[in-house]
Amino acid sequence: MTFSFQEAWARSESVEGWLTREQGEALFEAAGTVPPGYAAVEIGSHHGKSAILIAGNLPEGVSLTAVDPFDDPRWGGGTDSLDAFRRNIAAAGLGERIELFRGLSEDASRSWTGPLVSFLWVDGAHDLGSTLKDFDGWMPHMAPGGLIYVHDAFSAVGTTRAILQRFWGSRSIEYLGCERTLAQFRVRRLSPLGQLSSGLRMLPRLLFFTRMIAIKVSRRRGWHSLERRFMRVDNEPLI
Ligand SMILES: C[S@@+](CC[C@H](N)C(=O)[O-])C[C@H]1O[C@@H](n2cnc3c(N)ncnc32)[C@H](O)[C@@H]1O
């Protein structure tokens, strides 16, 4: 069973999460590109919002592996979170399309025996060490031409540093673009010109990153009028 984007969004809208509608649509569209015989993997599932959007558009025969230890206090964690995930997935009618790996991304990637991954959605812990483990652990399992989407890119410091360390100037990862803090990459061998072009296209995101940091610092210091001056839309820098 696949949904239209409107149906998938309607089923995910009331689920707690930090995706804009446009980001939800980007995930939905990416899921639709996974060829039969390949896998989709989500790092960080929380209550299932993004899982519903992805699983709702996977072609017949492709399932989503959702990886989350459900024990991180920053997102509530614990059995309440796991129960909410199961409840929301079942309510969306997608229980059959999603396999849960309850554990850390690094353990899931180490023990992965599934098919090559054609869509990897990275939305777990946003510190540098965890994000590097996400990238390094899953890269060997990626299919040529596969998509890697990363949330809180050019917003969270750790995620941004990991992107710059592994993907900026890379010969095998092409930067495709961003939907706000959702950055999109493709696994592809690049010529030196392609490498340069991919790196240059990422540069304007550093200005966006500077603005997100300015918001965070102003908020932490209680400089609210300055914070508002840096903000362009509600809910920055979370979206
Ligand atoms: C921002 S939430 C995910 C939101 C979800 N993708 C959505 O859009 O609905 C982050 C999740 O990552 C999980 N997490 C934290 N560290 C992780 C890791 N190393 N591997 C997998 N999941 C992790 C947390 O338990 C939390 O549920």
Q: Which pLDDT value is given to residue 203? A: 96
Averaged over 211-230, what is the pLDDT? 95
Query: CA–CA separation, 24 vs 15, rounded Å?
Result: 12
Query: CA–CA separation, 56 vs 12, rounded Å?
Result: 10
Measured in residues, the chain has a length of 239
- Domains annotated for the chain, with CATH where assigned, are 5-202 (3.40.50.150), 204-239 (no CATH)
Q: Which pLDDT value is given to residue 165? A: 98
Q: Which pLDDT value is given to residue 158? A: 98
Task: Tell the residue nearest (CA) to atom 14 of ligand 1.
Answer: 124
156 CB near ligand 1 (under 6 Å): no
Confidence of residue 84 (pLDDT cuts 50, 70, 90): very high
Q: Which pLDDT value is given to residue 46? A: 95
What percentage of the chain exceeds 90 in pLDDT? Answer: 93
Confidence of residue 2 (pLDDT cuts 50, 70, 90): confident
Averaged over 20-29, what is the pLDDT? 98
What digits encode the pLDDT tens for the residues 157-168?
A: 999 999 999 999
Q: Which pLDDT value is given to residue 239? A: 86
Q: How far is the CA of 191 from the centre of ligand 1 (A)?
A: 34
41 CB near ligand 1 (under 6 Å): no
Question: Residue 102 burial by CB count (10 A; 0-12/13-18/19+): exposed, middle or buried?
Answer: middle
Q: How far is the CA of 45 from the centre of ligand 1 (A)?
A: 5
Phi, psi of 89 (to 5 degrees): -65, -45
Q: Is the peptide bond before 237 cis (omega within 30 degrees of 0)?
A: yes
Q: How far is the CA of 124 from the centre of ligand 1 (A)?
A: 4
181 CB near ligand 1 (under 6 Å): no
Task: Tell the residue nearest (CA) to atom 19 of ligand 1.
Answer: 104
